[in-house]
Amino acid sequence: MRANHSDVTQVAYRLSIATARRPRRCIELPTEVGLIRWCLWAVVSGVTSKYVLDLTSPYLVAPAVLVLGIVAGGLLRRQWRRGKARYFAIVGLVVTAISLPLCANASAAVGGLFIALIGLGMFDLREAMQPNQSLAGSRWAPAAEDRALRQALVLALMLCAGVLLVLDSQAAIALTLPIALVIALTVWRQSGSPQWIAVLLGCLVAAGAGIAVILLGSRESWPAWLSASESLSSARHTPWSDALSLWASAPILGSGPGSFTPSSELASNTPSLAAVHSLPLQVGAELGAVGVVLLALLFVGGLLFVARGSRPVALIAMAAWTALAVHSSMDHLEDFPIVGFMGGVILGWSGLGAHSSEGYRRNADFVGQG
């Protein structure tokens, strides 16, 4: 009877774990559905308008590289937690090499995401370096220390590369500072707000950035205090104003993908200003309010996707995802696939296959904190 009772208890325990994990799939589903709906709407908008949707359009390329980055991020974290630093180094070197020739704002955006990725790697490394009684005094302890030392060296080198990229843009510097603060609070102090507060705050910040862009584009003249800024110079006033005018002509469905450049005199005559330099305004002008809603759902889905993991990992990823959204509201980062790929890496590292109990066995400070 005792053996039977033990077997029943064990089966009940496994069922409870499976039941607790199963609902988490419903959080992952909105992200997948959101990407599909986004691509479908871009295709439908291109078919129903006089502008043909090119297969190289950012509306199709960006979601593709985002998914690729998510998969890469999940695999990269798995290898990192096994103590294999070479994959992290390879990704870092390749991303840096691709980003350096890009325009300053795009490469700097990659640098900000790179620093967030380094923070995520720091947390996993710090967790792995916690005292482990099963390894203490064993012949495996020196090998574990050597792996940790190599990982720390890779993080230091990649940090230099990330900082080098970030320094190219004032906006990236301003947006990376909060990420660095979140890293410091979550990795070293092991504290931070609950995930639901971070999700709410991220939504408010991203919405505030979008509203600010709309208000600035609606003004008759550019504010003098912004004219001296490299990231928000008066050069953006005309594209933003033209995008709002085009959006007003077809507020719900938009004018079709690729319609902004031929509709704007400045954009059609100035190659460097062919894009709106604001993702929300570009989407609003070309894909309408429907596109803006789908874009907002993608952003919220990304926050919920990474919120499933442990608190430190989720907070770092949500800070980086929000910073990317804010930066995208004032620049055309969607035109650079490497930016979308790195954003996907952050999401994949934090949310792919993660659950709220990860890492808690070795770090009791987070037990019970969803």
Task: Determine the Cα–Cα distance for residues 69 and 306; give it in Å rounded to an integer.
Answer: 14
Whole-number pLDDT of residue 367: 29
Confidence of residue 79 (pLDDT cuts 50, 70, 90): very high
The answer to the question of residue 4 being in a domain is no
Which range has highest mean pLDDT (9-18, 178-187, 335-344)? 335-344
Domain that residue 345 falls in:
25-360
Average pLDDT of the chain is 82
Q: Residue 369 carries which side chain, given as an amino acid letter?
A: Q
Contact 263, 255 (CB under 8 A): yes
Which ranges of the chain would DSSP assign to H, the alpha helix?
A: 2-21, 25-48, 58-81, 86-99, 104-128, 141-166, 170-183, 195-218, 224-227, 237-249, 260-263, 265-269, 279-306, 311-328, 337-351
Whole-number pLDDT of residue 353: 60
Structure tokens at 318: 């949500």
* For range 320-347, the mean pLDDT: 95
Task: Determine the Cα–Cα distance for residues 345 and 79; give it in Å rounded to an integer.
Answer: 14
Whole-number pLDDT of residue 127: 77
Question: What is the number of domains present in the chain?
Answer: 1
Confidence of residue 351 (pLDDT cuts 50, 70, 90): confident
Give how far Cα 299 sits from Cα of 45, 132, 234, 291, 323, Å. Answer: 21, 38, 28, 12, 11
The answer to the question of residue 228 being in a domain is yes
The answer to the question of residue 247 being in a domain is yes
Confidence of residue 11 (pLDDT cuts 50, 70, 90): very low
Whole-number pLDDT of residue 274: 80
The answer to the question of residue 99 being in a domain is yes
Residues 233-281: pLDDT tens digits? 667 888 999 999 999 999 999 999 999 989 888 888 887 778 899 999 9
Please give the helix or strand (H or E) that residue 257 lies within, else none. none
The answer to the question of residue 7 being in a domain is no
The answer to the question of residue 78 being in a domain is yes
Which DSSP string do the residues of 101-141 spell out, in sequence order? TS-HHHHHHHHHHHHHHHHHHHHHHHHHTS--TTTTTSTTH
Residues 94-129: pLDDT tens digits? 999 999 999 889 999 999 999 999 999 999 888 776
Contact 337, 61 (CB under 8 A): yes
**Quick one: which of 111, 91, 115 has its CA closest to 99?**
111
Confidence of residue 41 (pLDDT cuts 50, 70, 90): very high
- Answer whether residue 362 shows pLDDT above 50: no
